Structure formats: C-alpha cells, structure tokens
C-alpha cells in the first residue's frame, strides 16, 4: 500500500459517490475516503440511499479502531452537512474525532447553510481545504442536485440513439436496432439514475413502451416515475390499454399536455401537467420539480427532442452512436431548423464511454 495524493483520494471518493446515483434523489450523491496520518487508505463510503447514512458515516463505520483516526485525512465530495436532518450532522461527528484535515469537493449549494459545516470543523481546529483541479468532475457528479438547489428546476437529460451518420431510423421507420445490446443496456441503466423516464406521444403510439426499469442494477428501485409528452391530450382516451399504464403505479404516471387543454376530463385521476408546448418548457421544469420529479430522462422521439433542443430547455444530452452507416433515413433533428451556423446550439462534451463498437457521448449545454 502506498500513500495517496489529494487528487487520488478525491477521485476515489467521486467513484464511491457514483454508486449512490439513482437511489438518493433529491439528496446529492456523496462519497468519502479516509486516509491515515501517513496518507494510506483506511476506508471509503458513500450515501447509499435516501434516509441512510451520509457518506462520512458510511466510511467511519468501517473503522473499528478509532486510534487509526489520529491525524487522519478525510476526503468528501461535498461539504459535510451542518444540520441535523434524517441523519445526524456530519460536520459535528467529524469535529469530535482526532482527525487532522478535511478536504472537500464542493461547498453546499444552499446559501443558507454553505460554509457552516466547514466552520464547525475549523472551530474544532481541523484543517479544512477545498480540492483543486477537480471542479468539473465534482460538478458533473452532482449536476442534478446542484441545478435543483440553485434553480428549483428539474434536471432534463435527453437521450438519442443514432447511427454513425446521425440517423435514428431507416426511411421506412425500421430502427431495431441502431445500437448494440450493450449500449441499450447502458441506456436502460441510465433510466434508473433519473427520477423519471419520458417519451413523446409518437413514440408512445409506435413502441407502446412501459418505460419502467425491468433489469440491470436499478431493477429494484422503488417509485420510478414515467412522463408522457402528449401535446393534444390524445392518450387519455385509451391509456388504460397501454404498457405504460399497466406497468407503472398510477401515482407515478405523469402526462404533460398543452395548456389549451386545461379543462380536459381526467377520469383516471392521473398526474396531469399543463404547459405551453411552443415556448413553455422552462416553466415546465419548475412544475416537474414541484411534482418531485427532480431529474428526467427523455428517450425521444425526434419531435420531443427537437422541441427541447430548439427551446434550449435541457441540461444534458446522451448520444449513443451505433456502428452502422444507415444512409438516407430519419434524422433526430429533422424538426429543428436554425437560420445560420452561428445560431446553432454549441454543446460541451463532458463524458464518453466506449461500448465495444458503439460509443456514448454526453454533452452538457
């Protein structure tokens, strides 16, 4: 075992934190790593699910002999909390230990408590510092939570599966499959990392999707929600026969319809959200937030994607590029038009993942 640098310890804490994504919303995913006085690894932990231990306590519980904590260094991706909530204050718990330093990733984004956890540590004569050089990784890790806290809005992720030449289907509509089973499995897992999965009415009609989580690491996730974008409220007439209705609990189904249908009859008592489909998606983000949908994964089709893109009303885009060249087909931005190159949307490539011959590209707005 060799001593770890600050950066190595924080990167490990980040990868620990990631294990909690999908299970902790609306909390942030948080990871923690503890090194002994000589900077050798002692323990790691993470916030595993809503209501369970925070990352710091999860890591501390793995240390049997508190002697080991003398002069220890604690790395945590987010400022230790100052307040007592579902769990005791982490800052207070750390302040009682003989540790020498706490290195944190991001300050608490809640201005009312930001810095309070750090102050508790400083008052206990513990050295406190912010990690340098990992801000991007840390912001990406907690991107949903940060947006939730900063803007009281739902975090919107778009997902596209295209061919090498940007097509999502043949001219005939044939699209099974553009990407590999491994890429589709990866995308299925992404559903679980968000509070809800969404599609547009066209996809609902064509694919009759259930939108729930059927396999993979989020299979046992509870209360995953689904959202249907149905501008003209056409689905309400016969939704009882759909896989979407039959595969999800009623309270988890949300239909977004255009504001002009405000007086529509809601016999089934589903969650119905109203918004202006042409210009009201920013407002929709707040409504979703109020419905406790803090993050949303939109899987298509082209029409819904184009609307979110043209209104710049999304936060991240997952593009799965399969290994086929399709030729003339259906582009996922066929409904999107810009007047000149300078008007187009410029994104930031924030992550990529090779999946055999496919690749996942994650872009932030």
Instruction: Decide if residue 306 touches a copy of itself (CB under 8 A).
Output: yes
Q: How far is the CB of 21 from a copy of itself (least distance, A)?
A: 23
- Looking at 11, 317, 360, 362, which residue binds a copy of itself (CB under 8 A)? 317
- Looking at 61, 129, 182, 334, which residue binds a copy of itself (CB under 8 A)? 334
Instruction: Decide if residue 162 touches a copy of itself (CB under 8 A).
Output: yes
Q: Which residue has the tokens 């149905």?
A: 230
Q: Which of 16, 56, 79, 143 is catalytic?
A: 56
Q: How far is the CB of 283 from a copy of itself (least distance, A)?
A: 23
Pick from 255, 258, 334: nearest CA to 302: 334
| Closest CB to a copy of itself among residues 286, 310 | 310
56 is catalytic: yes
| Closest CB to a copy of itself among residues 171, 259 | 171
Stretch that binds a copy of itself, among 49-57, 133-141, 184-192, 354-362 (CB under 8 A): 354-362
Instruction: Decide if residue 330 touches a copy of itself (CB under 8 A).
Output: no
DSSP assigned state of 145: H
| Closest CB to a copy of itself among residues 122, 336 | 336
Conformational region of residue 155, where left means phi above 0, alpha means psi within -120 to 50, and beta covers everything else: beta
Which residues have CB under 8 Å from 94's CB, separation 6+? Answer: 56, 74, 80, 102, 121, 124, 126
What are 219's two structure tokens? Answer: 């299979």
Decide: 18 and 192 in contact? Cβ < 8 Å.
no
- Looking at 2, 172, 220, 263, which residue binds a copy of itself (CB under 8 A)? 172
Q: Which residue has the tokens 């945590």?
A: 76
Instruction: Decide if residue 315 touches a copy of itself (CB under 8 A).
Output: no
Instruction: Decide if residue 2 touches a copy of itself (CB under 8 A).
Output: no
Coil, strand or helix at 297: strand
What are 240's two structure tokens? Answer: 């009882």
What are 269's two structure tokens? Answer: 């008592």
Decide: 44 and 35 in contact? Cβ < 8 Å.
no
| Closest CB to a copy of itself among residues 103, 319 | 319
DSSP H or E stretch at residue 167:
strand 167-170
Instruction: Enumerate binding residues for a copy of itself (CB under 8 A).
Output: 162-167, 170-172, 174-178, 306, 309-310, 317, 319, 321, 323-328, 331-338, 340-341, 344-349, 352, 354, 356-359, 361, 363
């Amino acid at each position: 075992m060799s001593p770890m640098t600050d950066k190595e310890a924080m990167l490990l804490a980040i990868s620990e934190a990631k294990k909690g994504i999908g299970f902790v919303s609306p909390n942030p995913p948080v990871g923690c790593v503890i090194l002994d006085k000589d900077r050798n690894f002692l323990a790691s932990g993470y916030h595993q699910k809503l209501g369970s231990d925070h990352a710091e306590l999860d890591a501390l519980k793995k240390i049997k002999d508190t002697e080991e904590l003398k002069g220890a260094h604690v790395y945590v991706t987010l400022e230790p909390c100052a307040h007592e909530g579902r769990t005791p204050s982490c800052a207070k718990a750390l302040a009682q230990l003989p540790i020498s330093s706490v290195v944190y990733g991001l300050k608490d984004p809640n201005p009312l408590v930001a810095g309070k956890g750090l102050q508790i540590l400083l008052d206990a004569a513990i050295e406190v510092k912010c990690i340098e050089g990992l801000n991007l990784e840390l912001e990406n890790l907690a991107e949903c939570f940060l947006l939730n806290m900063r803007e009281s809005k739902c975090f919107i992720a778009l997902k596209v599966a295209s061919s090498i030449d940007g097509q999502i289907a043949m001219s005939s509509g044939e699209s099974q499959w553009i990407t590999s089973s491994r890429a589709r499995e990866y995308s299925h897992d992404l559903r679980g990392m968000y509070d809800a999965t969404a599609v547009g009415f066209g996809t609902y009609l064509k694919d009759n999707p259930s939108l729930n989580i059927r396999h993979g690491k989020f299979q046992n996730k509870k209360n995953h929600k689904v959202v249907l974008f149905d501008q003209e409220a056409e689905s309400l007439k016969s939704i009882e026969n759909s896989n979407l209705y039959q595969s999800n609990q009623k309270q988890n189904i949300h239909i977004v319809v255009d504001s002009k249908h405000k007086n529509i009859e809601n016999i089934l008592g589903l969650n119905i959200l109203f918004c202006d489909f042409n210009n009201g998606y920013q407002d929709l983000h707040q409504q979703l937030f109020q419905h406790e949908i803090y993050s949303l994964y939109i899987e298509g089709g082209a029409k819904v994607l184009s609307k979110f893109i043209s209104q710049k009303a999304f936060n991240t885009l997952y593009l799965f590029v399969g290994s086929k060249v399709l030729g003339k087909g259906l582009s996922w931005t066929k409904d999107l038009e810009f007047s000149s190159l300078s008007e187009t949307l410029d994104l930031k490539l924030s992550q990529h993942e090779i999946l055999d011959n496919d690749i996942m590209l994650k872009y932030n707005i």
